[in-house]
Amino acid sequence: MKKTLFSVILFALLCGYGNIALAVLPTISSTSPIPAGCAGTNLSLSFSTTGAPTTYSITWAGSPAGLPDVPAGTSLPFTAIPIVTLPTLAAGTYTGTFVVSNTSGSSAPASITVTVNGLPAVYSITGGGGLCAGAAGYHINLTNSDGGVLYQLKRGGGNVGSPVWGAVGTPLDFGVFNTAGLYTVTATNAGSGCTRNMSGATTITVYPVPIAIPVTGGGGYCAGGPGVAVGLTGSAFGTMYQLMYGGSPVGSPIAGAGTSVDFGPQTTAGIYTVVATDTSSPFCPATMPGSATVVVYPVPATYGVTGGGAFCVGGYGVHVGLTNSNFGITYKLYRNGTYSTVATGTGLPLDFGLFALDGTYTATAINTSYGCTTSMTDSAVLSYIPVVRPTLSIGADMGTTVCFGTTDSFYANATFAGPSPTYTWKVNGAFAGYGSSLVYTPHDRDRVAVTMNSDATCASPNVLTDDVFINVNPALVPTVNMSASPATVINGNTDTLNAVVINGGVHPTYQWYLNGVLVAGATSRMFYSNAFKDGDVATFKVQGCADSMGTGTITVHVVARAGIREVNANGSSIHIFPNPGNGSFTISGELNSIAGNEQAAIVVSDLAGRVVYSTTAAAVNGKIDAHVTLPASVSKGVYILNLRSAADNVISQIIVE
């Protein structure tokens, strides 16, 4: 073809025709097949021509919608003709004719074919949302899908993961995502390679969580104690911090203030964590790093303190212990709060030993592995008992001097003998009996001994011995000497008769007779009466050892009553009137030994010598005139009045009726 054209041009030049135009019709020597296209893509027709065409036209069979004809006279590109952009074409095959033209005319039509592949169907993207950093994230989904189509999730234009095959009528879930960004989906038909963006997009927004602050605290403490503190090394403003135990909150949250956080002492054993929550929406939480473990150490078991009590001064003391003990536990004993001693548990009741200091004893148990301490219950109180000094002596009903042949009863006189003392009697070293008394008939110079074993508390010594020697008198006949005072008694006054017995024995018996008649109750050596008559004969009988008898008699002299005037050897005399009386008497007379003035003593005594009244009276030139009134407590009877000066003494009887 090029040779022909070249020949034509050369011929014209040689013949002198400078502007020769050859009448050559264009031809379409070849067309390349139009590849299948996707809706919305550009397709082009590649071709080769002759005759230098300058325009072209395309006519489509059936005038399909969206594929317009190219009218004749359209300028022809050099090598390829853009066919069409195919966004509106339905999938299918379209045919037409291609004609090129030049000034000489048009070429024969060439057939062309266009195949259009459909785009994947459009479905909507769902899912996404806002989340806190570190959260699981959100699902991203497609509302539907088709078979033979691959769906690719994209974030910011880049692929996320592998494409997912669709299935007819099946929604797609691309999974859970927590990376912030804008997510889209592109669908690709696996057969045609046609792609299409799915409808819409979804966004995942990631909110920051509270900054990580380590948990502090925890540790071990003894059961029953205050617990151990749990906290944070710091805190941030705008953040609330909640202590957690086993997934549950403990107490109220604490607002961060830029300082460390103290949740206070915790007493429940276990692991504690802290969750921090931002105070602004969406209130993102975060578990703080680390944890605090609280361990509750066991305290020793509680047992009671035993022992104690009272003990003798200077004795060994008493035991103090515990009702039980445990292995591995140390038990400390305290006296009045001050450490005393220590013992180790044995699994059995514990004995701290003997203690001889008074006071209150308490105990504590210590688990030395953890330092946990428990106070034991109760206490032992130790107190002193003073030592008592028993005494022992032998008493005898008949005394230690008895008449020959007399049976005597000996008994132990003891102090601090105790509730159940024992007594052992011996006579001349030979056993004679047990008990607190001994009855036997002694011989002269017998040695009677008793040994007492006292069971009195704190008796020292508790064993004592006493002995006595017995004198046995022979049976002698008693003699009696009789006297009367006064020798002569005023009628109605009391006269006192007295018997002095010689050889009466150890335990004589006495009896008075008046005019031969036994006087009942008159069984002592003295006999007095204010009813004596002049010439009455009083007889006194004494029974001595071995029933030996002695007798004495005296005749009573009674004169008529006219008051009483007593005259002593110095010639001093007093007159007492009335006498007998009711306790009020007048004393008048003279004390010859007083030349001037002197105070004389007036003393009234009973017959036993007991003073019942005393006073003084002035003796002026020896003369005395005094009034005596005895106390109302003085009973009726006979009394002795003694009037004394420095050098004189007058004695008289007075009778109180």
Which of 297, 328, 363 is the endpoint of a domain?
A: 297
Q: For residue range 138-169, what is the model confidence (pLDDT) as tens digits?
A: 999 999 999 999 999 999 989 999 999 999 99
Residue at a domain's end among 559, 593, 612: 559
Residue 19 clears pLDDT 50, i.e. is over it: no
Give the mean model confidence (pLDDT) for residues 282-302: 94
d(CA 566, CA 284): 135
Out of 56, 82, 117, pick the residue that ends a domain: 117
| 297, 372 contact by CB (below 8 A) | yes
State how far the alpha carbon of 163 is from the alpha carbons of 111, 136, 147, 202, 239, in Å: 40, 22, 13, 17, 41
pLDDT of residue 78: 64
pLDDT of residue 366: 96
Is the entire prediction scored with pTM above 0.85? no
Q: Which of 211, 406, 380 is nearest to 307 (CA)?
A: 380
424 has pLDDT over 50: yes
Q: What is the CATH number of the domain that holds 130?
A: 2.60.40
Q: Are residues 103 and 33 in the same domain?
A: yes
With cut-offs at 50, 70 and 90, classify the pLDDT of residue 18.
very low
Q: Is residue 349 part of a domain?
A: yes
Sign, CA dihedral 346-349-353-355, equals: positive
Q: CA-to-CA distance for 638 and 74, rounded, in angstroms?
A: 190
Q: What is the pLDDT of residue 289?
A: 96
- What pLDDT score was predicted for residue 23? 65
Residue 219 located in a structural domain: yes
Low-confidence winner among 286-295, 404-413, 483-492, 566-575 (lowest mean pLDDT): 566-575
H helix or E strand, kind and range, residue 10:
helix 2-14
Residue 10: predicted pLDDT: 29
Same domain, 262 and 330: no
Which pLDDT belongs to residue 287?
94
Domain that holds residue 325: 305-385
- Reported as type and span, the H/E element at residue 628 is strand 623-629
pLDDT of 13 over the 50 cut: no
Split into its structural domains, the chain has a count of: 7
Give yes or no: residues 225 and 268 share one domain.
Answer: yes
Give me the DSSP letters along 466-505.
EEEE-EEE-----EEEEEEESSEEETTS-EEEEEEEES--
Is residue 10 included in any domain, yes or no? no
Residues in the chain: 657
87 and 154 co-located in one domain: no
Query: What is the C-alpha to C-alpha distance for residues 158 and 184, in angstroms, rounded to an integer?
Result: 9
Q: What pLDDT sits at residue 1?
A: 35
Between 68-77, 286-295, 554-563, the lowest mean confidence (pLDDT) is in 554-563
Quick check: 79 pLDDT over 70? Answer: no
- CA angle, corner 17, sides to 13 and 23, nearest 5? 90
Q: Are residues 315 and 285 in the same domain?
A: no
Q: pLDDT band at 560, cuts 50/70/90?
A: low
In this structure, the answer to whether residues 571 and 642 fall within a common structural domain is yes
User: What's the chain's average pLDDT?
Assistant: 87
> Does 11 score more than 50 pLDDT?
no
Specify the pairing of strand 248-255 against strand 292-297: unpaired
Q: Are residues 541 and 617 in the same domain?
A: no
pLDDT of 16 over the 50 cut: no
User: Does 14 have pLDDT greater than 50?
Assistant: no
41, pLDDT greater than 90: no
Q: Does residue 11 belong to any structural domain of this protein? A: no
Q: Are residues 28 and 112 in the same domain?
A: yes
Would you say residue 524 lies in a domain? yes
pLDDT for the residue numbered 346? 94
CATH of the domain at 497: 2.60.40.10
28 plus 99 within the same structural domain: yes
Is 619 in the same domain as 594? yes
State residue 22's pLDDT score.
53
Q: Provide the pLDDT for residue 114.
A: 83
Categorize the per-residue pLDDT at 86 as very low, low, confident or very high, splitting at 50, 70 and 90.
Answer: low
List C-alpha distances in Å: 417 to 308, 383, 433: 25, 22, 18
User: Quick one: three-class SS letters along 73-102?
Assistant: EEECCCCEEEEEECCCCCCEEEEEEEEEEE
Confidence of residue 47 (pLDDT cuts 50, 70, 90): confident
pLDDT tens sequence across 341-365: 999 999 999 999 999 999 999 999 9
Higher-pLDDT residue of 245 and 36 is 245
- From the number of C-beta atoms within 10 Å of its C-beta (0-12, 13-18, 19+), residue 356 rates as middle
* pLDDT tens per residue across span 432-477: 999 999 999 999 999 999 999 999 989 999 999 999 999 988 878 8
What number of other Cβ atoms are within 10 A of residue 304's Cβ?
A: 14
Asked if residue 184 has pLDDT above 80, the reply is: yes
- pLDDT tens-place string over residues 213-262: 999 999 999 999 999 999 999 999 999 999 999 999 999 999 999 999 99
Residue 2 in this model has a pLDDT that exceeds 60: no
Please say whether the beta carbons of 236 and 213 come within 8 A.
Answer: yes
What is the average pLDDT across 301-321?
A: 92
Q: What is the pLDDT of residues 108-146, one digit of tens each?
A: 998 888 888 888 999 999 999 989 888 889 999 999 999
Confidence (pLDDT) at 566: 54
Is 419 found in the same domain as 370?
Answer: no
Walk across the sheet containing 391-396 and list its strands: 391-396, 408-415, 437-440
Please tell me the distance from the alpha carbon of residue 91 to that of residue 196, in angstroms, as a whole number.
15
Pair (542, 568) in one structural domain: no
